[in-house]
A and B are shown apart, each in its own frame.
Chain A
């Protein structure tokens, strides 16, 4: 049951579609993230929800009520702006009290509510200060307090952590989660940072070029991306391009990839033989072997040569030159005592393997995504360009 619903939302600026036919259902009480590269329309979508922009087409339904044409001051929705937008001429106390004063609440009520917020947000002792006298993290807590004191049904957060430095960002993320647990209202967060979105969200909508690519729980989006864009944008991955071959082992199929011996893939999208397809294999799903491992029908095996070794303590990242000109990223986690493992060195000939279930087959191809996808060397890319566009 949807609490907030976007129905076929479109928003154009001078004919340019910033948000293009977006339909979303957001549940009560969840932290929902809009994730995508800069300029993909996340902020525009959020601003339509707040009432600062009116959709060119489509409706927004909150709790069964159509709020598409309501002005911002009539929506029980509050926004945390990217720059916080605290009123510089007012004290912290008056900033937090702003909404209550506009609503003409009694002085005693305002005092109690603001004091409670100051306590919850750990801002006691700062209430007399002006915004420019407090730190970035405190400013953000003031912005949250100023919004939450109005008891909104939804809190909208536009890149809430982008203005903070890295260390503070991680702490505020934990704090945001704690605040959400405490107030229990719906949070909709915009971010271009996937770790932020993955870390805090109940569900994520991945956007690109004004369109929703996939909606799901963080692990669904990571493990089972539905488009090549999502696979590339969320985490690191290796893409191989090939032609779908005959079915094998039931739902599996063979894939012809130039230079590769034979590749078996789980064909959950039921791609037809002859079609071009991507296989996405995450670096941690690849295993690196010094010796050729024993044959296993479900195991895909390719030879390669190590070109880079980056030791990270808990894991080692390898770059391996594989067949067909592919440069492959492999991550090995050190779960055993690291010194006991056979070392793999630069320039060493190795074998890479992955289980057929771990290669994710994707059909969708957009020329737009090329940059993000870090496509393989020229011959493949050239062949791909001849493929018909999906839409």
Chain B
């Protein structure tokens, strides 16, 4: 009797989570290990993977350009994440406080542009920021910019387009948290002497911290591996890790080298994730 009671939910649990776990194992974990293994293989001149094992690839990683690119990848992703949060938190606040019948409408208005294909939106930005586009023309007309200045093909353009692209990914979790926030707490803070903004920062922002952490992961991780936006908007002067990997793969046809860089990227992605999870665990354990 006792074991039966104990076992049946276990069996159910295994049945329910099993397929997902197998899927992740076969199509995610194994390939990731495979990539790691490939980085220890020699490359062949024809673009294939040679026999035997070598550490040669890792000595090639001492390319003097790489530290800058890794740093740029981290820095740009951090900026994108910070800006996304900076916009999302006040917007989420306003949405959560909006009258109920407006909430869904406003949320829909924010989400509708993102039904358009991602690549099309990125190219749209290319048109907008083009030297003969309306933004450049307007800036030149007002005198903020000299004719012939390039708005595209720099890190700022990458940040701008990435923030635009990833805004929903930060807005949704932050909004979900704000929706659950008890706004009486803001009144309590003001009752205890806070000004409006002070109450917002001291009580609202910590109150939605779970949503903020989720948003951070959802924006930071894809941007560390970003490839499309830096490629289309950034040009060669604002290359990121993703672009180098692509170049090693498609132009140099050096699979082990690309694999090594990929492993480095995986590590870069894992570090913030583990940190966030660790911080959350500790925080939850302390409460």
Residues on A facing B (Cβ under 8 Å): 50-52, 71-73, 77-79, 81, 83, 85-89, 98-99, 102-103, 130, 132-133, 146-147, 150
13 residue pairs from A and B, CB less than 8 Å apart: A72-B187, A72-B191, A73-B191, A73-B192, A73-B194, A85-B185, A85-B187, A85-B188, A88-B207, A89-B207, A103-B193, A146-B192, A147-B192
Contact B206 A89 (CB under 8 A): yes
Which one of B184, B194, B209 lies within 8 Å of A102 (CB-CB)? B194
What secondary structure prevails in chain B residues at the interface with A?
A: helix
**Residue from A50, A52, A72, A99 with most neighbouring chain B CB atoms (10 Å):** A72
Contact A78 B192 (CB under 8 A): yes
CB within 8 Å for A130 and B189 given contacts A85-B182, A88-B207: no
Which of chain A's residues have a CB closer than 8 A to the CB of B194? 73, 102
Which of chain B's residues have a CB closer than 8 A to the CB of A89? 206-207, 209
Q: Does B149 contact A (CB under 8 A)?
A: no
Give 9 closest A-B pairs by Cβ, nearest first: A99-B192, A85-B188, A102-B193, A89-B206, A85-B184, A72-B190, A130-B287, A73-B193, A79-B191
A46 CA to B284 CA in the complex, in Å? 36
For chain B residues 188-206, which have a beta carbon within 8 Å of chain A? 188-195, 198, 202-203, 206
Chain B residue with Cβ nearest A71: B190
Extra A-B contacts (12), CB below 8 Å, given A81-B187, A146-B192, A150-B193: A51-B190, A73-B191, A78-B192, A79-B191, A83-B182, A83-B184, A85-B187, A87-B207, A98-B189, A98-B192, A102-B189, A102-B194
A255 CA to B188 CA in the complex, in Å? 54
A85 CA to B193 CA in the complex, in Å? 15
- Min CB distance A163 to B, Å, is 13
Contact A102 B198 (CB under 8 A): yes
Chain B residue with Cβ nearest A83: B184
| Range of interface residues on B (Cβ < 8 Å) | 10 to 19
**Residue from A52, A85, A86, A147 with most neighbouring chain B CB atoms (10 Å):** A85
A83 CA to B187 CA in the complex, in Å? 12
Contact A81 B195 (CB under 8 A): no
Which of chain A's residues have a CB closer than 8 A to the CB of B202? 102
Chain A residue with Cβ nearest B207: A89
Contact B192 A150 (CB under 8 A): yes
Contact B287 A73 (CB under 8 A): no
- Min CB distance A51 to B, Å, is 8
- Min CB distance B66 to A, Å, is 41
Which one of A52, A98, A99 lies within 8 Å of B187 (CB-CB)? A52
Which of chain B's residues have a CB closer than 8 A to the CB of A81? 184, 187-188
- Min CB distance A143 to B, Å, is 9
